[in-house]
A = this chain, B = another copy of it.
Amino acid sequence: MKLQEYVSKDLLRKAGVPVPHGQVAESVDQVEEIARRLGPVAVKAQVLVGGRGKAGGIKLADTPEDARQVAQQILGMDIKGLTVEKVLVEQQQKIAKEYYAGITLDRARRQFVLMLSSMGGVDIEEVAAEHPDAIIKVPIDPSFGLLAYQIRDAMFRADFDRGAFKGLQGILGGLWRVTQDKDAMLAEVNPLAVTDAGNAIAADAKIDIDDSALFRHPDLAQYEAESINDSVERYAAEHNVPYVKLDGNIGIIANGAGLAMMTMDAVRRLGGQPANFLDVSGGARAEVVRQAIQIVLMDPKVEGIVMNIFGGITRGDEVARGLLEAASTMDIKVPIAIRIAGTREAEGRKLLEDSPFTPEPSLDAAATTIIRQVHEKHAAPVGGQ
> B-contacting residues of A (Cβ < 8 Å)?
141, 143-144
Contacts and interface: CB of A to CB of B under 8 A. Distances in A.
Interface of A, secondary structure class, is loop
A143 B144 CA distance: 5
Contacts of A143: 141, 143-144
Nearest to A145: B143
A9 to B, nearest CB: 25
Contacts of A144: 143
3 contacts: A141-B143, A143-B143, A143-B144
The 3 closest A-B pairs by CB, nearest first: A143-B143, A143-B144, A141-B143
A143 B143 CA distance: 5
A110 to B, nearest CB: 16
A141 B144 CA distance: 11
Nearest to A143: B143
A144 B141 CA distance: 11
A111 to B, nearest CB: 13
A41 B144 CA distance: 44
A141 B143 CA distance: 10
A215 to B, nearest CB: 15
A376 to B, nearest CB: 59
Contacts of A141: 143
A307 to B, nearest CB: 41
A202 B143 CA distance: 29
A50 B384 CA distance: 99
A143 B147 CA distance: 12
A144 B142 CA distance: 9
A8 B144 CA distance: 27
A258 B215 CA distance: 53
